């Protein structure tokens, strides 16, 4: 396959690309990634969350184009299977994958993950602040944790409910807290492991990239949106130069 050099980190320890997730993964060599952490833009969620003429998915300064903040990944079983098989191919023999799900996509796509990976846990992300919802209002999302081959986690006393406050008035739609990805990477980076490569093919505002760099890992990511790549680039560069996360506006301790 051509363009397989995408993984070479020269002066920088990160590389991000304005590419569709499957194209990005197809350009990554076999068995080269240590940890995938990702938060896809499922198309199913928006379809389920219609309320009257509007959608109950939160408020952002940015209204998005034609009522959508960003392009959605078409999450048919077929497309999702291609995505998962590429994730499996690029992961190293002993590696971990964390895939985020809302409750709707977990029901429709969670079982597809089982065809590619042995699912070890469904971690509940307790967002600590009540959200929207037709009946019971949502305060949780889910992180499906799986492995390729056998790899332990760094701390066996971590539980599967993670209470991390969601970002209020985020600068990027569906921006996730860096702490969430940091916790995934921390669990999957074993003592003495160095130069790990973390990948997020649905990068958004770059929260996973900041978490990876903060964990002294290399990072490769992509997003189909030019805007996401531009925001992430600025965020990553400022973090590297000044140790400031411009989207969470906190000085990050290393
Ligand atoms: C849920 S958001 C990710 C948010 C991110 N975790 C953060 O903290 O900012 C999903 C992202 O997937 C991107 N996206 C949608 N379809 C895509 C595709 N086919 N390939 C790659 N990225 C895609 C969207 O542009 C959006 O930025």
Segment 194-236, tens digit of pLDDT: 999 999 999 999 999 999 999 999 999 999 999 999 999 999 9
According to DSSP, the residues that pair with 143 across neighbouring strands are 100, 123
The CB of 200 under 6 Å from ligand 1? The reply is no
> Considering the entire predicted model, what is its pTM?
0.90
Q: What band does 243 get if pLDDT is binned at 50, 70 and 90?
A: very high
Q: How much is the average pLDDT of 1-20?
A: 77
The more confidently predicted of residues 10 and 156 is 156
The more confidently predicted of residues 238 and 43 is 238
Query: 111 alpha carbon to ligand 1 midpoint, in Å?
Result: 21
Scored b (16 or more CB within 10 A) or e, 215-244 reads: bebbbbbbbbbeebbebbeebbeebeeeee
Average pLDDT, the chain: 88
Q: Please give the residue range of the domain that contains residue 153.
A: 4-251
**CATH number of the domain enclosing 185:** 3.40.50.150
Q: Could you identify the atom of ligand 1 that is nearest to the CA of residue 201? A: 21
Q: What six digits make up the tokens of 33?
A: 């990634």
Q: How many domains does the chain have?
A: 1
Q: What band does 99 get if pLDDT is binned at 50, 70 and 90?
A: very high
Query: 4 alpha carbon to ligand 1 midpoint, in Å?
Result: 23
């Amino acid at each position: 396959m051509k363009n397989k050099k995408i993984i070479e980190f020269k002066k920088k320890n990160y590389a991000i690309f304005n590419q569709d997730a499957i194209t990005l993964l197809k350009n990554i060599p076999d068995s080269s990634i240590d940890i995938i952490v990702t938060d896809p833009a499922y198309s199913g969620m928006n379809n389920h969350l219609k309320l009257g003429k509007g959608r109950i998915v939160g408020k952002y300064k940015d209204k998005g184009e034609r009522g959508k903040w960003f392009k959605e990944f078409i999450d048919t079983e077929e497309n999702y299977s291609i995505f998962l098989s590429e994730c499996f191919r690029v992961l190293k023999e002993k590696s971990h994958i964390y895939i985020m799900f809302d409750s709707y996509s977990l029901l429709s796509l969670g079982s597809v993950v089982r065809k590619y990976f042995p699912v070890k846990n469904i971690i509940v992300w307790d967002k600590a602040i009540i959200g929207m919802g037709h009946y019971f209002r949502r305060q949780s999302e889910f992180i499906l944790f799986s492995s390729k081959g056998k790899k332990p986690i760094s701390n066996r006393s971590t539980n599967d409910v993670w209470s991390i406050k969601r970002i209020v008035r985020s600068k990027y739609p569906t921006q996730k807290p860096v702490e969430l990805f940091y916790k995934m990477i921390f669990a999957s980076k074993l003592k003495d492991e160095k130069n790990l490569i973390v990948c997020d093919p649905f990068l958004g505002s770059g929260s996973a990239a900041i978490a990876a760099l903060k964990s002294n890992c290399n990072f490769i990511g992509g997003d189909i949106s030019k805007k996401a790549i531009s925001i992430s680039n600025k965020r990553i560069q400022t973090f590297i130069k000044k140790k400031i996360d411009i989207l969470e506006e906190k000085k990050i301790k290393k």
